[in-house]
Structure 1
Amino acid sequence: MSVKEGLVSILKGLSRDEIEELLLNQELCGHCELSLHNHVQLIHKSKHDNKSSMSGPDSTQPDDISERYSEPSTVTNKGSSIKRESNKYPEQAHSRGWTRYSEKFSPTSVDSKHITSSTQSKSGRLTEVELVSDDPKERLGLANVVRKTNFTHFEKVNGKNVNVVQGLELHTQVFDADEQKKIVEAVYEFQRMGQKGRLRERTYTEPSKWMRGKGRVTIQFGCCYNYAVDKNGNPPGIIRDEEVDPLPPIFVQMIKRMVRWHILPPTCVPNSCIVNIYDEGDCIPPHIDHHDFVRPFCTISFLTQCNILFGSNLKIVGPGEFSGPVSIPLPVGSVLVLKGNGADVAKHCVPAVPAKRISITFRKMHESKIPYGFSPDPELRGVRPLAMTPLESPSQQKHIENKEASSHTPASAPPQVVSKPNNASLFNKEDEFPPLGAMNASRRRR
């Protein structure tokens, strides 16, 4: 059955009131609204002409009006079909995807004999129809994303005035509260699996908390990244002959969301990620991400809002405390994209967090650094951004103003020292999730 036939079938099951509600409540751009209006007028005129040509009291008109709206239910804008369904239709592909994948978020365990990704879809491919969405909920979500792309802070770099945060993008309202909760639950399940030795050896790392800011738990999928020279003499970077678990299905869906919603380009679809689980006081010191990963890459924040500092010269003030000229708040559910000078000139760091926090950083590996046993996820082949109406275009969306001191600090302003921002946690009950960092490193599976 084609998409159009399926839409007609749905419309046939709707009452007059439901179709009227659909037409009145659906927001359309001016072009689409005019096109729909013209179609309705043609149908009305055709109906009137038929009535005039029919004689006798027994003449009747079809009682099912769904057929009359089958044509205007698909409108065209600049050559891109935008198919729309009633909000009352319960089986939306988008919402089904989150339910299905949140129930199957476990990665391949060490007991599995399969090295290929566990995220193979039933179809195994993406079709052209995925370039447009017939899910009103997804289109509404796309339209509601708030994008800030005009970060500015100039510093002297090699004698030149350089905007060191050029290329940074902050996308908020990307993941709603329910989606955030499912993602967080999945992350804590991965942590439990790691503590029980059910993940491949280098997937899970839980260092002993020997000082403030040093207890951050990490879970790596897709590749094993070495932060420093290890005991085997491997330098910092991707270790190609180390095995870790593949991207879990729920993370694959997050990646698809970000590409479809014009947050990440289809030319740089991530194939690896690192999960950071912070306890109160944990931090990430100043650094520039290794060039084993191409640009752009992104990080997503959960549980607690915190600040991230940027600058060409960040200073360590004390354990978990850093000083820098630019401080950007990261709301929960937001995506920070790093590219350009923001990724390669400015260093960045996360000061000691005020409460439990999770971040997930998605990156694409450089072709020359892909691990030897790596298998790309079929779900991510050919993923494309959604066609956007003028109202959904990033250029038409509401941008956060540059007046916020936290996201735009003049070059003459003094550096900020940040350790514990006062932000509320999304989950403020102590028993919502298992405690972090509770396991001694010596008890972990090696």
Structure 2
Amino acid sequence: MRRSWQLGGELARRAGERLVDHVSRFELCSLSPRLVRYLVTVDVLCLVVVFLGVLELPFRFVDLLTFGAFVLLGRLAMETSRHLGAPGRRKDEPHRDLLSTWTLPVTLLLPPLYAAVLHIPLHCIFRSRVAPQPRYKQVFNAAALGVSGFCAASVHRALAPTQGPYRIDTLVGSSGRIGALFVVVLTYIVLNRILLHGALWYAHPRPARRPFAGGGREILAVDAAEMCSAIGLAVLWTAHPLLMLTATPPALLLQRSLLHAELLQAARTDAKTRLANPAYWREAAEKEVLRIRRAGRPLSVLIVDIDHFKRVNDQFGHLTGDAVLVCVADALRAATRPRDLVGRFGGEEFVIMLCETDLDNAARAADRIRRQVAGMRCRVNGQSAGVVHVSVTVSVGVATATGADVDLPALLETADAALYRAKADGRNCVRLAAGVAPHARTAT
């Protein structure tokens, strides 16, 4: 009897260790409570739509065959992407890999349940081999895409109802059905973007965050390419599955072009802050200087330096210092306009070009930046003290020129001299190349 109790206790202990190990893989304890609630809500919503899909699923062998084929094609696309190589992944933006080119046709061709569960094997099983991620990210990505796919497939059934599997005439047999395809794919992309950016907002809240910000024309071009490719693949499948072989080379070429765009973006940005690096900032600034000279408009340059940044590194460690740099970069984005050029010049120094901005408005913008950073509370995981909230201030130097007098090296030099005056005058203040900003306040 005693041996049985010992054996039972050992089994219970091992089961408990395995449970703790599985839970720890999700890494939820390091996330904010709001983010955890959001992730769990989306995961539960995915379970709900799967349950609804099971209730009304018409079982057909041809649907299972189509589902299996597109899962394999999606897996092939992911493996091909892995062999092409992957650039550095951004932590504040969702990664674009064109996998939807192969998964969106399931939304167009099959009942909603298949679209809801399609990403479970791709993100929770296959994905871990291509790009290892925390388990909660894998589950959330699959859930968000599943909810988007279920809703889009339901919209397709409402706009273009049909009996039995889709054929080429029932899929694109009229202008209304063709329009329904574009509405469905657009619904899928918009819902997916909203869900993913919702998680990003909870993880990195920013005052100026918008669901569709941060991509411009390149993101729209990628979305359009995914939409058209997915519709083309769905039409080819309904015409004859073997025609899918003709779509593989163009899809791989599109994937390679996307990889080139991501590599180009990585070469232009600072790895820590995701701001423009010095080389790209100067390149873009020189082009703007030529335009300003021709237009005869004013242009201002701000140099921003974090006060006593060495103390942060000495007190909390360099990892915390890196986190503070990211928080300051976010504050600079929030306090500037989308057309302003923000870059990191190295260390704790940043540079901002304010397009068509005179000295008075540049001084106001500089003080807005100073106040934005001063009111920031950067929540980081300390090396020994657990979660800490770090606050820093910045000093800002401002220089302005107009029309033919605009010269980038001279602006940088005079703004840097104004920055040194701000440092000498007590820090946490703004100084202009021609004197003190009347509205700037020096910290007491």
User: TM-score of the superposition, structure 2-length normalised?
Assistant: 0.23
Q: Which has the higher contact order (CA 8 A, sep 6+)?
A: 1
Q: Where is the helix percentage greater, Structure 1 or Structure 2? A: 2
User: TM-score of the superposition, structure 1-length normalised?
Assistant: 0.23
